[in-house]
Amino acid sequence: MSEQQPPWRDELDTLLGRLVDEELSETETARLNEILRNQPEAKAQYHAYLDVHEDLETQFTVPDFGALDAVTKIVEPPQPFYTRPLLAMAALVVIGFFINALVQPPAAPERAEVRPIATIKGLSGSLVYTGDRGAVQNQLAVGDLLTGGTIEGMAPDAWFELQFTDGSTVMISGFSMLTFSDDGQKKLRLKEGGFTANVMPQPKDKPMLVQTRTALFEVLGTRFSVDAELAAATLTVAEGSVRATRLSDNSSVDVPAQHRVTAAINRELVTEKVPDSVGSWRSRVELGRKQNQGEWFPARAGQSARLGSVPYTIPDGRTIYTLAMKPSTGDHPPVVLQSGSQIRVRGRLETQHRVYFGVTLRHINGDFAGRFQVIQPEEMFADRQPFDVTLNFDEYKLDPSLERWKDHLPVSPVGLVVDAVWVHTLWDPCGLQVVSKEIITPDE
């Protein structure tokens, strides 16, 4: 026995051995009863011993421990003399196995094999993946096999495309958080942001389920996109049909191709045709955090509402200070860039710094179409002074971080849907804030 065992443990083993040998004296019987009365663990061991030796009890009479405060004397039944050594030896062997089992730690259960359900097809920017048993990973690569979990886009430049084993694909961009699993039925939960999907035909009794805070979407095979906000979710169907259910009252509607629906408690759950695209757009910073990604400051005396940059530290330890707005989400029609379109950005910096102006784009069907940007030198910005910058989208170039994908991405932002317009500075905090953005067509 280990030195860590309680002192009565060895004594109990000896008394049980003498009990089996039928050599327990009256004094020892009293001591055995005392141990069982004062040590609940000893009582449990003794009763387990009785279960193990149920067959032997037909040959033995053991003390009655039903009332632990009583002293019981063992009464010997008559039996053939030659059975006693054999029974004693058998009992000692079983007792040995029994006591050994008590002191051995339980074997750890075998961990079931977890099989991959999807493969990373593309990624760029700042991403964090939380996988099996909560393991957090930010070093991901194309071709990695995933077993399910949560993927989170941490900045406006984030992009992630996942392909399930049946060929269905889902993609997030920007500040988004998507949980995915497949145990015979694909289940996704979009906590925030947006994603698009191209879903292969699913079993009729096991459609893909997509849940947000306010809605549940059932997908049998189609191409669609979802944008989730705190109190609303907008589903846009490009091909096929998707059933939408508002969680607050379980009302449902089927959404056909080229239609959309918004699930929110303050509006009727009805489908509408996706409006024709537009070329112009103007931000509404005064509306707060809705469709704005950054630190929001309300208007106050002498100052308009503004959106401030927020820090994100990348794996190498450096920090990006970024903010973004999403023109083509919610009730707004898709904003498509035309040749000669411009963007006007008004804001200020606390400290003079080089500034990156960019746009994240998608195709009409929702597929990721790249990020394009232009860099303005620090000489254009003065400390604590407002800036008013107008830029031509024709001059925007593909983000260098997407260089490896350039053969699969458009060479120009023209003709593509604007998913997000963003501004950031690199490495140094400089108090970047934006008051307004607007996309202007050549006619304007």
Residues 413-436 pLDDT 10s: 999 999 899 999 988 889 999 999
- No. of H helices and E strands in the chain? 4, 29
**Domain region containing 46:** 7-103
Pair (124, 266) in one structural domain? yes
Read off the pLDDT band of 335 (50, 70, 90): very high
- Give the pLDDT mean for 131-138: 80
Pair (296, 412) in one structural domain? yes
* CA distance to 162, 361, 433, per residue, from 170 (Å): 5, 16, 33
More confident residue, 338 or 92: 338
Q: Which helix (H) or strand (E) holds 391?
A: strand 385-392
Read off the pLDDT band of 386 (50, 70, 90): very high
Among 88, 73, 96, 94, smallest CA distance to 13 is for 96
More confident residue, 151 or 5: 151
Among 49, 170, 68, 75, smallest CA distance to 117 is for 170
Beta-carbon neighbour count of residue 257 at 10 Å? 14
- Give the pLDDT mean for 203-224: 93
Check residue 406 and report its DSSP letter. G
Residue 97 belongs to some domain of the structure: yes
Which residue, 273, 290, 323, sits at the end of a domain? 273
Pair (262, 301) in one structural domain? no
Contact of 428 with 349, CB cutoff 8 Å = no
Structural domains counted in the chain? 3
Exposed/middle/buried for residue 55 (C-beta within 10 Å: 0-12, 13-18, 19+): exposed
Q: How far apart, in whole angstroms, are the C-alpha atoms of residue 220 and residue 241?
A: 8
* CA distance to 104, 115, 168, 224, per residue, from 165 (Å): 43, 11, 7, 19
Which residue, 103, 137, 165, sits at the end of a domain? 103
Q: How far apart, in whole angstroms, are the C-alpha atoms of residue 259 and residue 378?
A: 45
Lowest model confidence (mean pLDDT) among 72-86, 236-250, 322-336 = 72-86
Which pLDDT does position 265 carry in this prediction?
86
Looking up residue 387, the CATH number of its domain turns out to be 2.60.120
Pair (303, 387) in one structural domain? yes
Task: List all residues 6 or more positions away from 230 whose beta carbon is below 8 Å from its beta carbon.
Answer: 213
Exposure pattern of 194-231 as b/e (b: 16+ CB <10 Å)? Answer: bbbbbbeebeeeebbbbbbbbbbbbbbbbbbbbbbbee
Which pLDDT does position 68 carry in this prediction?
38
Read off the pLDDT band of 23 (50, 70, 90): low
Residue 1 belongs to some domain of the structure: no
Residue 309 belongs to some domain of the structure: yes
Strand pairing category for 208-211 and 186-198: parallel
Exposed/middle/buried for residue 273 (C-beta within 10 Å: 0-12, 13-18, 19+): exposed
Contact of 137 with 167, CB cutoff 8 Å = no
Lowest model confidence (mean pLDDT) among 68-77, 93-102, 398-407, 411-420 = 68-77
Residue 108 belongs to some domain of the structure: no
Exposed/middle/buried for residue 34 (C-beta within 10 Å: 0-12, 13-18, 19+): middle
Pair (402, 314) in one structural domain? yes
Residues in the chain: 444
Which pLDDT does position 109 carry in this prediction?
56
Which pLDDT does position 221 carry in this prediction?
84
Average pLDDT of the chain is 81
Residue 152 belongs to some domain of the structure: yes
Q: How far apart, in whole angstroms, are the C-alpha atoms of residue 32 and residue 29?
A: 5
Which residue, 254, 273, 292, sits at the end of a domain? 273
Q: Both tokens of residue 47?
A: 């009763």
**Residues 153-192: pLDDT tens digits?**
887 778 899 999 999 999 998 888 999 999 999 999 999 8
Q: Which helix (H) or strand (E) holds 86?
A: helix 83-103
Which pLDDT does position 101 carry in this prediction?
52
Pair (288, 421) in one structural domain? yes
Lowest model confidence (mean pLDDT) among 5-19, 84-98, 224-238, 357-371 = 84-98
**Residues 240-251: pLDDT tens digits?**
999 999 999 999
Task: List all residues 6 or more positions away from 123 whose beta carbon is below 8 Å from its beta carbon.
Answer: 140, 141, 142, 159, 160, 161
Looking up residue 205, the CATH number of its domain turns out to be 2.60.120.1440
Which pLDDT does position 67 carry in this prediction?
39
End-to-end CA distance of the chain: 90
Read off the pLDDT band of 312 (50, 70, 90): confident
Q: How far apart, in whole angstroms, are the C-alpha atoms of residue 131 and residue 149?
A: 4
Residue 159 belongs to some domain of the structure: yes
Pair (133, 234) in one structural domain? yes
Share of the chain above pLDDT 70, in %: 79
Q: Does 61 have pLDDT greater than 60? A: no
More confident residue, 17 or 95: 17
Which pLDDT does position 65 carry in this prediction?
37
Pair (125, 18) in one structural domain? no
Pair (147, 296) in one structural domain? no
Q: Does 202 have pLDDT greater than 90? A: yes
Pair (45, 152) in one structural domain? no
Residue 81 belongs to some domain of the structure: yes
* CA distance to 57, 172, 278, 363, 369, per residue, from 416 (Å): 86, 17, 11, 6, 8
**Residues 76-119: pLDDT tens digits?**
444 444 445 545 555 555 555 555 555 455 555 555 566 889 99
Contact of 233 with 212, CB cutoff 8 Å = yes
pTM of the predicted model over 0.75: no
Q: How far apart, in whole angstroms, are the C-alpha atoms of residue 248 and residue 265?
A: 7
**Residues 249-298: pLDDT tens digits?**
999 999 999 999 999 988 899 999 988 889 999 998 887 777 788 888 88
Residue 234 belongs to some domain of the structure: yes
Taking each helix axis as running N to C, give the angle between helix 7-20 and helix 83-103, from 0 to 180 degrees, rounded to the nearest 10. Answer: 160
Pair (144, 56) in one structural domain? no
Exposed/middle/buried for residue 337 (C-beta within 10 Å: 0-12, 13-18, 19+): buried
Pair (379, 395) in one structural domain? yes
